[in-house]
Structure 1
């Protein structure tokens, strides 16, 4: 019960004050269970062409071992320093940047991905409602029984019934969650074995988490109040499964491990404080990962010359590496030199077969020159990008700039509608979609797309109004 809701009773509260406090506590309990079941998605998604290609390659054997279609499963990063990963609907595994940078090697990350795929195959996100339903039933039943006891004059006894029900409800939900986690551990072990990937990384990463728990003084002897089984118990069970397995001594392919280490350094440079990056990857370190990390650190610190020097070192080692070229183009573009950014970005796009994220960067550079001669190429690469990856608001924004420049206001409005709808700005999305429909020929592909956006935006706005009225 929300304190902001109007009360349909003559007295401000229909319950005695002690009971009201307990009802509020139960509401908080149910909210807590909902938050456990559905992780928040407020973090920033980290889109990077190289990282996404690598995660797809690294997870493909596990996805196949899980009996899932590789094309339907995505492994993506979010900018969050916590050591965590989760699935939240669909077939997407979300890995926190903190987990990726904390991992020592690819094998550890693959162990995490295998576990999360176990949640997907088991339908745990969908079935989490079962655990919540059971817990809610216990809570509501205890409220009814407690209220009956209190009505009969047993105030303290009634409160005790409700408090016991509240504890039982949370215990029921946590037990359900622990069962799912244990199931995902077992499934992950099967996938790793079937894919011929060692479980050593899974155990090593769990030991890393256990050491973190020790440092944070998290109790290791009470599994009842946890969403996961005790870490020590999980490690013991994993050893039983992994050590006898034929893949126990399997080695990660050197080229895959090298890709992991350079992407880990790249990510560290992007998300960490530049001074911390320079401590971890000092100038004395002349490896590829170190150059990658320092390039981002110097770029974030507004030292473009030093950042470009690091990209030069990378390109001396691999002159045609598309991701090194992409980084050089990004540094030049964001340092106010868009014309100079175009050649490396063009080569990166060509080498990757018009990878959409890199193509959007090239389109941005072409537009940023403010030279109308570059706009036709910009439109071509941006159209190609959104045809391959429509879920890129910035690409649509850039296309809108092109359309507006040439006076095509209906398609500029459509591009704005696409962009704002993806960002959840439904009022602007609806107005822009309606403006596009007013200027487009009815029945054309663009008209129908604007119509779809308007329909979705209107539906979302209506749903929001109904929620507000219900409060």
Structure 2
């Protein structure tokens, strides 16, 4: 899916011996490549947020709190074992069955649904996450584009977005930029061999420190390399952009030798459920996913993950009774597993058995009080029950546990709409757009709110302040289409 700088490099290869202090590796960028001279962290963040906004706007991301939370928790767990944990990391799942992952400037990291489906263990998936995270912590894109200052932030964002979207349709790249400029800039952001080796080395070290089995990283790409001989033109994108060879696999296995991970890091049940969830939510039609799981179950592969996948597919098809029937044995075997509880609650919601759904969610929150997807589901179920004000207050009380999700603002906007609070609706709708990287849309939503004659001075001041904050993230020459003349943030109220 991703070419060049934003594609995953494969397994480890040795480099010069790292500096050691008491046996702890010190991870430093290579000398002579000061990333800050080329691109500041703020510029990196702006590029990454712009590309991410385009991915979301195109419907290319799976906006599902359970998948998002799973990938984010996995990523932050590995990040906590790095020598220099980034201040900002944002993880999302891409609606693409191809096997790939990518790191954008500013700490934005995307993982194809196909990657989750192809991994056989959580350590295999964690190996990919660790490698991509190393690209982020070492700021490889900023270090790679040294000397290419002719391209501005908007151009870099366009190039990266075009590469992401255009891997299966080259005309997308041509539509984004002129052919010559696109080709030149794409060559500039190809990771160097040293960067790939650095990401391999750091990634596998962090994987070990985080308690995962580094052999999973090796076996995953070895399996893909063996399978690639059968793919022909359909070779996985992850191998197309960074071919694997036996030497790199061998060196990675040597580095992984003697490390086997621990029982605390691996979560086989959760990994299996999320892999099945990715398959259902990325399928063109839920019926395709149901057929897949039905065949698997009929052939004897009837573990919890397969049964959950079938139950989720039935839910997506609107067969809530059938979903509950498929889910019942899993709930009996794993009564405290939150994702199983959530699917049961969503079935009850759709069957308009709101009281039972709320009771099910309350039980889940007793054991997992900080689990954001359950908090969201509880708030939405309260709104289903006509309790919009209570839902809003509940979510605000728990906001510290859900603040990293743009969905929190979307739900608060829905609650404001149902309560008739137009000022709050404008604020939360704009916050949702802004958090997804769409500052221009956020400005428009704030402006619409400011035109409400019924606003109190406090509400107007809040929206004005937020507008200035959002406006600061836009280029100096940006103007709303209807706005002319000198920049004036108060024009929106006229």
TM-score, length-scaled by structure 2: 0.66
Q: Deviation of residue 209 (structure 1)?
A: 3.0
The match for 1:108 is 124
Match of 1:271 among 282, 286, 311: 282
The number of residue pairs the alignment matches comes to 394
CA distance in 2, matches of 1:74, 1:320: 28
Report if aligned partners of 1:85, 1:96 keep a CA contact under 8 Å in 2.
yes
The match for 2:22 is none
CA distance in 2, matches of 1:379, 1:171: 46
The match for 1:328 is 344
The match for 2:319 is 303
SS at match of 1:93: strand
- CA change 1:201–1:322 in 2 (3 A) is closer
CA distance in 1, matches of 2:269, 2:96: 24
- CA change 1:242–1:194 in 2 (3 A) is farther
The match for 1:411 is 424
CA distance in 1, matches of 2:101, 2:303: 29
Q: Deviation of residue 270 (structure 1)?
A: 3.1
The match for 1:452 is 465
The match for 2:200 is 185
Q: Please list, as runs of the form range in 1=range in 2, the aligned pairs for 1:81-230 lying within 5 A after superposition.
A: 81-130=97-146, 173=188, 176-195=191-210, 197-217=212-232, 228-230=241-243
Report if aligned partners of 2:388, 2:416 keep a CA contact under 8 Å in 1.
no
CA distance in 1, matches of 2:444, 2:114: 35
The match for 2:254 is 243
- CA change 1:116–1:451 in 2 (3 A) is same
SS at match of 1:87: strand
- CA change 1:128–1:385 in 2 (3 A) is farther
SS at match of 1:419: helix
The match for 1:399 is 412
Q: Deviation of residue 306 (structure 1)?
A: 0.7
- Please say which of residues 394-403 and 317-326 is displaced more in the overlay: 394-403
Report if aligned partners of 2:379, 2:391 keep a CA contact under 8 Å in 1.
yes
Indicate the RMSD between aligned Cα atoms, in angstroms: 4.1
- CA change 1:194–1:134 in 2 (3 A) is farther
SS at match of 1:217: helix
CA distance in 2, matches of 1:83, 1:409: 43
Match of 2:270 among 259, 274, 297: 259
Report if aligned partners of 2:450, 2:460 keep a CA contact under 8 Å in 1.
no
Report if aligned partners of 1:397, 1:416 keep a CA contact under 8 Å in 2.
yes
- Please say which of residues 210-219 and 266-275 is displaced more in the overlay: 210-219
The match for 2:39 is none
Report if aligned partners of 2:107, 2:136 keep a CA contact under 8 Å in 1.
yes
Report if aligned partners of 2:296, 2:302 keep a CA contact under 8 Å in 1.
no
Q: Deviation of residue 251 (structure 1)?
A: 5.8
Q: Please list, as runs of the form range in 1=range in 2, the aligned pairs for 1:51-62 lying within 5 A after superposition.
A: 51-52=67-68, 54-55=70-71, 58-59=74-75, 62=78
- Could you list the per-position Cα deviations for residues 242-268 of structure 1 after superposition, in whole angstroms to 9, with x for gaps in the alignment? 325453444655862332223222332
Report if aligned partners of 2:141, 2:191 keep a CA contact under 8 Å in 1.
no
SS at match of 2:145: helix
Q: Deviation of residue 82 (structure 1)?
A: 1.6
Whose helix proportion is higher, 1 or 2?
1
- State which structure, 1 or 2, has the greater radius of gyration over its C-alpha atoms: 1
| Gapped regions of structure 2 (runs ≥ 5) | 1-46, 153-179, 483-494
The match for 1:381 is 394
Report if aligned partners of 1:360, 1:385 keep a CA contact under 8 Å in 2.
no
Q: Deviation of residue 376 (structure 1)?
A: 3.9
The match for 1:368 is 384
TM-score, length-scaled by structure 1: 0.69
- CA change 1:81–1:394 in 2 (3 A) is same
- CA change 1:433–1:276 in 2 (3 A) is same
The match for 1:152 is none
Report if aligned partners of 2:122, 2:266 keep a CA contact under 8 Å in 1.
no
Q: Deviation of residue 68 (structure 1)?
A: 3.3
- Please say which of residues 91-100 and 353-362 is displaced more in the overlay: 353-362
- CA change 1:289–1:184 in 2 (3 A) is same
The match for 1:139 is none
Bigger relative contact order, structure 1 or 2 (CA pairs below 8 A, ≥6 apart): 2
